[in-house]
Homo-oligomer: A and B are copies of this chain.
Amino acid sequence: MAQEHVFTVIDKDATYTIGSPSGTTLLQALRQLGDLALEAPCGGNGSCGKCKVRILQGEVSSPQTEETHLLSAQELRGGIRLACRTYLLDGVDQQLVIATMHHTGTSQVMAAFTGGMPLENLRFHAQDIEIERSSAEDQRSQLARLMDEVAVHPALKSPRNLRHLQRTIGHTSIRCLMDQGKVVSILDPKEKAYGLSIDIGTTTVVVYLVELLNGAVVDYRAALNDQKRFGADVISRIEAVAGQPKGGLLLQHTIVRQLDKMAAELCQAHSIPTDSLIELCAVGNTTMLHLLLGVDPASIAVAPFTPVFTENLSCPVSQLGFTHISDTTLCVPGSIASYVGADITAGVLASGITRQTKPVLFLDIGTNGEIALWDGAQLYCCSSAAGPAFEGASILHGTGGITGAVSSVSWVKDEQGKPSIIYQTIGENIPIGICGSGIIDATAALLELGLVDETGAMLDSQEDGSQLIIATPAGNAFSIVSATDHPVYLTHKDVREVQLAKAAIAAGIRTLMYESGLSLDDLQAVVIAGGFGSFIDIGKAQRIGLLPPVDPGIISSVGNAAGKGAVLSLLDPTAYEAMEQIIHQARYIELSSSPQFMQYYIDEMTFPTEGFNTHG
């Protein structure tokens, strides 16, 4: 039997002592812990090089090939290792002490959304209901007195709401929160009513605090999804827990713990008792919603990609394991398919495209690129596995949109025609890596400077007169930041990742065009949802062939449309009905079995030669 190995972990805010059998990896051991500053985008297969930890004391397994490849000699000398490739050893004397590595910067998550919410009516309103006074002869319950005066929602009969009702005993006027004419909750006099709208992205999580009676978004919290230490994309997370009994529940506990904490923090920051939270709405992709509910999403990962549910549903948050907030109802709008989730339903709702009479293209580019094309009557949808390149995960120096990430790259030429690179970082901090918008810019720069050809082949550093292509342990690479201790470059392998990612998106768009019989000229608008869309340079995204060659004037970014849809669910009395209508109008196209997609994908693998590809 393997020896139990007890060791110490020094994290950002806390120190933990945990035990794990010898022979397990540090990553496996660390996954036991709650809120740990550790990412493993590749799911722990030694390919992404992100799960760095520092060994402060004690002995572990020797560095493996992947580590010598992905870590610099300096890092290895400094005790930095990849948690997924470092094993706990048997029979060591000195206790092991490790420290997590983390960027002190905060994550730049796009939580904002464009456009107001000009709602004629809000879904909720407060109303004082007069009830008859109790007497020895009339011992009807307080609930019966209320029900004799006004229609009540079934949710009013929850233990939590009955506790609120208890506080009104002896009163003959009860302040009720009405949801479309029915009492859903009891308010104390002057109590405000709040809801939370939750957008669970594979990468980022946003929780909005919404004041129900005036429709204001009071505040929000955004963070990287704590599930990231199980993998950057849904498939790696599913695989990371596959075969483990209760593996799905492990992922559930991770996200629930995070949401629970964010919700409680938001309430605390505004001195709102969590009892004033009336309803939560959570959107996310289909896998995230399965994980939220503790339902194993394994069948989503393999053909024929059957989800357990895509239907809208609701349950008390206690059923999911929330403990920091009062036991209110969480509602989940319906999803469209395994890879087109409720975040798209909500996003389409918020964007209003299905109320248009002319064709509109809707893009939500994240780890997956969800694409929807409205032709005026039907919503063609697909999901294209772009991979996490644009989220920085499969890119050697890639990073999320955190402070210090290179977010924009351009070039100027001097009088001799020698180009030099200009970059900006988020928060104007010292550069620590490159995020999605920077990756697109850098790729565009490589194409513009002729350092990469249309096939994606990079000049060799020996041949490059500009000195921008340098030799690195990872081969030829485009040097973006060189003058600091922490150089940032884009390798020739990174460029291949970008090619694959942009080809997947572009081919997905063309497949929907094909299915609908529309051409790019028919498009009235192209709407880009999601944080990513807000930060990219549209021209450069068109230059590398990620966005279609339409008039840039019709392309607009709407911010976090999914989050906006989740907010609307709390405010717009017609939201849920409208989302059901959207699902009803949706026609899902499975790309993996589409011959058109395969052909387009091959076509789109090359970069546009001059300006734009020609589409559809």
Which A residues have a C-beta under 8 Å from some C-beta of B?
Answer: 134-144, 147, 157-160, 162-163, 165-166, 169-170, 293-296, 299, 303-311, 313, 315-316, 318-320, 327, 337-338, 588, 590, 592-593
Kindly provide the distance from the CB of A313 to the nearest chain B CB, expressed in whole angstroms.
4
Q: A158-B319, A293-B162, A316-B316 are in contact. Are A136 and B304 (CB under 8 A)?
A: yes
A139–B294 contact, CB under 8 A? no
Q: How far is the CA of A304 from the CA of B593 in the complex (A)?
A: 70
Q: How far apart sit A137 and B318, CA to CA, in the bound complex (Å)?
A: 37
Q: B338 touching A139 by the CB < 8 A rule?
A: yes
Query: Are the C-beta atoms of B295 and A166 separated by less than 8 Å?
Result: yes
6 A-B interface contacts by CB (under 8 A) = A136-B303, A136-B592, A137-B593, A141-B308, A144-B311, A169-B299
Give the shortest distance, in Å, between A327 (CB) and chain B (any CB). 6
A372–B135 alpha-carbon span in the complex (Å): 21
Q: Judge whether B159 and A320 touch: CB under 8 Å.
A: yes
Check A166–B310 contact: CB distance below 8 A.
Answer: no
Instruction: Decide: B590 and A311 in contact? CB cutoff 8 A.
Output: no
Please tell me how many copies of the chain the complex holds.
2
- Distance of A386 Cα from B342 Cα, bound (Å): 58
A140 to chain B, nearest CB (A): 8
B319 touches A159 (CB 8 A): yes
| A306-B162 in contact given A137-B590, A316-B315 (Cβ < 8 Å) | no
For residue A165, which residues in chain B have a CB less than 8 angstroms away from its CB? 308-309
The 8 closest A-B pairs by CB, nearest first: A136-B593, A157-B313, A134-B306, A141-B310, A143-B309, A169-B299, A134-B304, A159-B293
For A594, the closest partner residue in chain B by CB is B136
Contact A319 B309 (CB under 8 A): no
Q: Which of A138, A162, A320 counts the most B-chain CB atoms under 10 A from its CB?
A: A162
- Partner among B147, B309, B319 whose Cβ is within 8 Å of the Cβ of A316: B319
Quick check: A295 and B159 within 8 Å, CB to CB? Answer: yes
**Known contacts A141-B306, A158-B319; can you find 4 more A-B pairs with CB under 8 A?**
A141-B308, A157-B315, A162-B308, A163-B296
Contacts of A303 in B (CB 8 A): 136
What's the least CB distance linking A163 to chain B, in Å? 5
What is the distance, in angstroms, from A31's C-beta to the closest C-beta of chain B? 21
Is A590 touching B327 in the complex (CB atoms < 8 A)? no
Does the CB pair A299–B139 fall under 8 Å?
A: no
Does A337 contact B158, Cβ atoms closer than 8 Å? no
> How many Å from the CB of A300 to the closest CB on chain B?
9
Q: Cα distance A309–B306 when bound, in Å? A: 43
Let me know if A315 and B159 touch, CB within 8 A: yes
